[in-house]
Structures are given as C-alpha cells and as structure tokens.
Amino acid sequence: MSPARKRSRRAVADFGRRGNEAASPATASPALPADVRPGQSVELLKQLHILTRDGKLNQDSRRKLKQVYHLYNFIEPLLENVLADHAEFSLVDHGAGKSYLGFILYDLFLKARASGEVVGIETRDELVAKSAELAQRLAFERMRFLNLSVEQSISSPELPARVDIVTALHACDTATDDAIRFALEKQARHIVLVPCCQAEVAAALRQHKSESLSRTPLAELWRHPIHTREFGSQLTNVLRCLLLEAHGYQLTVTELIGWEHSMKNELIIARHTGQRRGNARARAERILEELNLESMRTRFLY
C-alpha cells in the first residue's frame, strides 16, 4: 500500500475516534433544557418527574413546567410584598398533592433567603411522607407537610394563628371553599386559587330545576345538563369572589394558562385591603334567592 493511502486511512480512523469521543456520555456534559431557570435544583426537577433521569424534558413535563413557572410569576410579587414588611412569613398550600408548587416556590424564592416557610396540607399519607423525605434530602429545612384536611387545618395547633399567603390549586370537592375559610380565619394577606370541582352548586341547581323553571326565565341557563355543569362552575366562582370582597379583599380574576392546556383554568388572586365591597354580601344573597339556592347560604355567606 502506498504511503499516501496509509496516511488517508489513518486520518479517517482518527476522525472516527474523535467523533465517538465527542458523542461519549462519559466526556459530554449535557446542557439543561432552556426552559429550566438558572440556579434551579436539577435534582428537584428530576424527583418531581419534570426532568428525565438524563436531564431532558418531554412534551408533557415541558407543559407542566410552563404552568408552574407561569403561576410562580403571579406569586413572586406577593412573596416580595410580604417580605418587605416582615422576614418571618408563611405560605400554606392546601391540597398540596406532590407539592409541585411548594417545592418550586422554595427552590426559586425561599432557598436564597434566611427566613420564611412553606407548609403543605394534604390528606394522602403517602404523598405527605414522600414530600417530607424529599424536602429533607434537598435540605429544604423550612418546608413542612401536614396530614390534614383543609377543614381540620383551620383549628390545628400545628399552624400559626396568622398566615401570610394561602394557595389552593385544583383542591377537590369543597376544599377550595375550605381554603377560603382557612384564609379568612388566618387573616391571610394574599389568597391564590385555581378553583376545581364545582359540582355541588350544579347538583343544587338540578335538584330545584323544575321549580326554578316555573319561577324565572333565568333557569333556561341550566335547563340542559351540560349548561348546568358549566353554569354551576361559573356561579360557584362568582359567589366565591363576592365572599372575598365582602371580607375586604381586592380581586384579580384571570386565566392561568392557555385554554389548550386545561379547562380548569381560572385564577383568582385576592389581596386584603380591609375595604369591604359594601354590596357584595347583599348581591350574593340576591343571587342565591333568585336561583333557588338558599341551601348554600352557609357556604357562600360565611
């Protein structure tokens, strides 16, 4: 074989070796997805199954991360507002589940500060235990998790007499209303709600449908089952807003994310100003009377 041909073969072999070395996991340091914020705990995101073991994002986890970050953008100014007044503050997350929100808030905001705590309230033992174990492993020392219903938490001695921020995201059954009651009892400065499971009002509308149809043409709004469900959901949140306004809260009601991601999309942010909307309670009473929902008075006229 000629010397030139030998040199050519060696060059091809060297190029192949360099290419394999560049692709080798042992020598490559895979960059984190651009979606992940600088300084965020990679281990946390893996444990929450937002990142895969090799630090990647799939489409579902990318959507989930986007939602959590979007919500964080709403909550961060509230945390700054509370922190400006006193260093020792508390945030209670109701119906915490796997505590995605609590962990993200701690990682992005509390971790770099010397004070403040996040308390997750959840009724499922296994989720409480897993969250507590993960917080300990990550040295998130100012995170606590309590196995309580939202209703039980109102009188629990394990929670402070006053809480600064209350969150409830997709809290099931009547847990959103219990979270509102908790926030009112604890004189929370801020409340952040993504309401869920408004079936109770829809059931009450169905129960009295015939009588309502004979009383008012408004009953056409819930004559058909699909309209009953949708109208019941809207009505529940309207009554919740009136309840908060009657207790001196100023509200922002908006959508959390695009409708293509979730139909449970309404975001209610309440800030306590002490200025009660004078006709809020009267309006709620009138709605309950007009729509034949007097049985719900204790829930919405707290």
Asked if residue 99 and residue 164 are part of one domain, the reply reads: yes
Residue 58 identity (one-letter amino acid)? N
pLDDT digits (tens, 9 = 90+) for 45-85: 888 888 888 778 877 777 878 888 888 999 999 999 999 98
Q: Alpha-carbon dihedral of residues 75, 80, 85, 89, nearest 10 degrees?
A: 60
Asked if residue 263 and residue 298 are part of one domain, the reply reads: yes
Asked if residue 209 and residue 187 are part of one domain, the reply reads: no
pLDDT digits (tens, 9 = 90+) for 244-291: 999 999 999 998 764 444 456 789 999 999 999 999 999 999 999 999
- Across 124-153, average pLDDT: 94
> Tell me, what's the pLDDT at 24?
38
Asked if residue 224 and residue 186 are part of one domain, the reply reads: no
Nearest in space to 237 (alpha carbons), one of 194, 271, 275: 194
HEC readout, 166-180: EEEECCCCCHHHHHH
- Across 130-153, average pLDDT: 94
Asked if residue 235 and residue 177 are part of one domain, the reply reads: no
Domain tally, the chain: 2
Q: Tell me the whole-structure pTM to 2 decimals.
A: 0.84
- Across 143-167, average pLDDT: 93
Asked if residue 207 and residue 133 are part of one domain, the reply reads: no
Asked if residue 110 and residue 216 are part of one domain, the reply reads: no
Residue 195 identity (one-letter amino acid)? P
Any idea what the CATH number is for the domain that residue 173 is in? 3.40.50.150
Q: Point out which residues pair with 253 in neighbouring strands.
A: 268
> CB within 8 A of 110, min separation 6: which ones?
116, 117, 118, 140, 142
Is 273 contained in some domain?
A: yes
Containing domain of residue 207, as a range? Answer: 198-249+258-302
